[in-house]
Amino acid sequence: MKIPVNEPLLDGNEEKYLLECIRSGWVSSEGPFIKEFENKFAKYIGREFGVAVSSGSGALDIAVQALKIGAGDEVIMPTLTIISPAQSVIRAGAKPVLIDSDSKTLNMDVSQIEAKITSKTKAILVAHLYGLPVDMDPILELCKKYKLYLIEDAAEMHGQTYKGKMCGSFGDISIFSFYPNKHITTGEGGMIMVDNPELDKRCRKLRDLAFEPKERRFVHRELGWNYRMTNMQAALGLAQLEKIKDHIIKKRDIGNAYQKNLREIQGFQLPLVKTEYAENIYWVFTLVADTQELCENTMAKLSIEGIGTRPFFWCMHEQPVFKDLGLFIGEKYPVAERLARNGFYIPSGLGLNLENIKYITDSLLIIGASKI
């Protein structure tokens, strides 16, 4: 692929801090960069505590267990997102209750949530997708009214705000991912954000095999995971965090250049530039084709031109693995089903340059005009 769908940018202190790990011998999760990265990222998001973990998906596993969500409980979440949150909830023995998407913001349709709340509902899990945050005020109200926990999946939203307040600052537990296609990366990694000191302690314990602080070592009272982050990952994270403002500006520049070059394109819905409550941060640049055929043909054609693309997430109610478990049988979410079939995104990694953008948009305009 001449232009991969993502390329990270590692042009700050990454090398220097990594060398420090190697020279000092601090490579494990006991190293000093972990605390520094946790504290600085928590401060950036405006939270009391950050708990660094080995992935965003691991952060979600811990979030569900830390809130003691289990058998008999329901968690409301979007059907269209990555599999991680549904997987965490199902593994915990609880049931995901799904919500359709909003066709414009690509996020879950907040107006459909209240009708799905039952006496079993324990939490609402919000995932901000692709670049725009979910409309949080109505959700915060529902959580208050029905006494529900809020889990916030802000894996794609580093530095994005909702009405001026940081994404990742809303949840009882919020999580981030530092996979290489996110605004900052640690290679693999994630962070749990909380304000409550008890929850902070609980999350730290669960990421560390649930060792008991006061018990004899290797005596356990609960199941946990080894989801620790290494000092080397935190070294990358610190260097990336120093440049997060530049990364966000660059991502928005890429998004704006695409918007400008593609404004005349036929057959595709471009992402919203903004909503009442946020400007798009363009985690990725999305295109929703008028038909599934146009979507698939366009991705194939771009691939021949050396341009990498990715389809949208696939709906939870259409996942073979969940069907096999007898879940979501007969459920239908028409907007999300259409977005999953017709949506894809084009390269927008931080390594992308203006020439790449012109090449990509020229190719797309020809495809759009001919509609293949």
Query: If binding is defined by CB under 6 A, does position 237 make contact with ligand PLP?
Result: no
| CB closer to ligand PLP out of 156 and 318 | 156
CB within 8 A of 43, min separation 6: which ones?
Answer: none
CB 131 within 8 A of CB 282: yes
Query: If binding is defined by CB under 6 A, does position 174 make contact with ligand PLP?
Result: no
How far is 285 from 346, CA to CA, in rounded Å?
6
Among 8, 190, 308, 349, binds ligand PLP (CB under 6 A): 190
Query: If binding is defined by CB under 6 A, does position 159 make contact with ligand PLP?
Result: no
Query: If binding is defined by CB under 6 A, does position 177 make contact with ligand PLP?
Result: yes
Q: Which residue is nearest to ligand PLP (CB)?
A: 56
CB of 57 to ligand PLP, least distance (A): 3
CB of 212 to ligand PLP, least distance (A): 27
| CB closer to ligand PLP out of 85 and 267 | 85
CB within 8 A of 261, min separation 6: which ones?
Answer: 357, 358, 361, 365
Candidate segments 22-30, 80-88, 90-98, 261-269, binder of ligand PLP by CB under 6 A: 80-88
How far is 316 from 78, CA to CA, in rounded Å?
8
CB 182 within 8 A of CB 9: no
Query: If binding is defined by CB under 6 A, does position 155 make contact with ligand PLP?
Result: yes
| CB closer to ligand PLP out of 122 and 183 | 183
Among 38, 153, 200, 318, binds ligand PLP (CB under 6 A): 153
CB within 8 A of 321, min separation 6: which ones?
Answer: none
| CB closer to ligand PLP out of 100 and 153 | 153
How far is 228 from 208, CA to CA, in rounded Å?
6
Among 18, 51, 106, 127, binds ligand PLP (CB under 6 A): 127
CB within 8 A of 137, min separation 6: which ones?
Answer: 163
CA of 176: how far to CAs of 129, 139, 155, 181, in Å?
A: 12, 19, 4, 12
Among 8, 56, 237, 255, binds ligand PLP (CB under 6 A): 56
Q: Report the sign of the C-alpha dihedral through residues 272, 277, 282, 288, in that order.
A: negative
By the criterion CB under 6 A, which residues form the site for ligand PLP?
55-57, 81-82, 84, 127, 153, 155-156, 177, 179, 190
